[in-house]
Amino acid sequence: MNFYGGQLGWTHWVIKDDDLKLLGQLGPAAMAIVTFLAVPTAPFAVMAFGLALSMIGIAREFKAKSVFVDPEDFYVLMMLKQAGPSDLDQITKMLSGLHIFGRGVWDQARALAALNKLKEVAQRNGTSTALVNQLSDRRWSTSGI
């Protein structure tokens, strides 16, 4: 499953692939390009208008469905995305890495709190979504990102 995420300044954000519907948003752009290329006398404004509509649609989806997360949550998501479904013990070890003391050390309580926090997060449009879920075999995985 693909996801889109990144960092803008000090802000980390993610958006689920299912929420973006990128292919549906690119429909007007594709039609505008096909029309522009198929009709030799078509004005450039036809293509530009279709592209502008697509970009507005994509921007609205980003604004409505994106989730802002703090750097620690982003770290947990990216680690879990890379590792795949993992149990709490594995997650704790991966999050701690080589740290043996200090803030970089993760215990199971801290890891479980971070995972539970990501089970239901608010999107910018007022709805909520799950970024992680716990499978029936007690392993955790990302949910559509």
Query: How high is the pLDDT of residue 9?
Result: 57
Find the CATH number of the domain harbouring 132. Answer: 1.10.10
139: helix, strand or coil:
coil
68 with 9: CB under 8 angstroms? no
Condensed to tens digits (0 to 9), the pLDDT of residues 50-109 reads 778 778 877 777 777 778 888 889 899 989 999 999 999 999 999 988 666 677 789 999
Lowest mean pLDDT among 11-20, 70-79, 115-124: 11-20
Are residues 78 and 124 part of one domain? Answer: yes
Question: Is 61 part of a structural domain of the chain?
Answer: yes
Q: Quick one: pLDDT band at residue 117, thresholds 50, 70, 90?
A: very high
140: helix, strand or coil:
strand
Are residues 82 and 22 part of one domain? Answer: no
Long-range contacts of 47-54 (CB under 8 A, 24+ apart): 53/28, 53/29, 54/25, 54/26, 54/27, 54/28, 54/29
24 is in which domain, residue-wise? 17-65
